[in-house]
């Protein structure tokens, strides 16, 4: 049996499809929006997001539990995250590490970790 040659499908767009469909629209003069001045405040600008996700994980850790804190705003650079991790480890008396933009705290102690974070102004959402 001889194989039939496949027919090629043209990928060139038809000439009528290459034009802008909105070019013929005439919107006329547009109205100006309301003139609202930007807010001026003497209060210091707070960080955009202080809402964190706290989740528990045991995967690839030999059955040991770690608590993972995620959702830090971009304003939190690596040195600020390391400083927060150092303070949390000292307060809880445990180990931990910085993994990308998330903190991993050793041990299953969310009831001790959550009040520490809330006292620093974070809002905690548990992921379990």
Q: What is the pLDDT of residue 113?
A: 94
Enter the DSSP assignment of 87.
H
Whether 67 and 109 have beta carbons less than 8 Å apart is answered as yes
Q: How far is CA 52 from the centre of its chain?
A: 10
Q: Which residue has the higher pLDDT, 5 or 43?
A: 5
More confident site: 96 or 21: 96
Q: What three-state secondary structure class fits 70?
A: strand
Q: How confident is the model at residue 23, as a pLDDT?
A: 77
For residue 114, what pLDDT is reported? Answer: 94
Q: Which CATH architecture has domain 51-123?
A: 2-Layer Sandwich (3.30)
Q: What's the pLDDT at 14? A: 64
| pLDDT above 90: residue 18 | no
Mean predicted confidence (pLDDT) in 74-103: 94
| 92-122 residue pLDDT tens | 999 999 999 999 999 999 999 999 999 999 9
Helix (H) or strand (E) holding 81: helix 78-92
Rg (CA), the chain: 28
Q: In what order do the strands lie in the sheet with 51-57?
A: 96-99, 102-106, 66-70, 51-57, 123-126
Find the mean pLDDT for residues 32-57: 77
């Amino acid at each position: 049996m001889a194989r039939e040659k496949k027919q090629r499908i043209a990928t060139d767009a038809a000439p009528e499809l290459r034009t802008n469909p909105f070019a013929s629209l005439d919107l006329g003069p547009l109205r100006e929006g309301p003139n609202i001045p930007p807010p001026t405040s003497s209060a210091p600008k707070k960080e955009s997001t202080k809402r964190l996700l706290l989740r528990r994980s045991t995967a690839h850790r030999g059955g040991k539990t770690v608590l993972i804190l995620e959702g830090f705003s971009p304003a939190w650079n690596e040195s600020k995250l390391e400083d927060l991790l150092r303070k949390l480890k000292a307060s809880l008396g445990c180990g931990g590490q910085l993994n990308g933009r998330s903190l991993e705290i050793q041990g299953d102690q969310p009831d001790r970790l959550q009040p520490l974070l809330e006292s620093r102004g974070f809002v905690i959402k548990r992921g379990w």
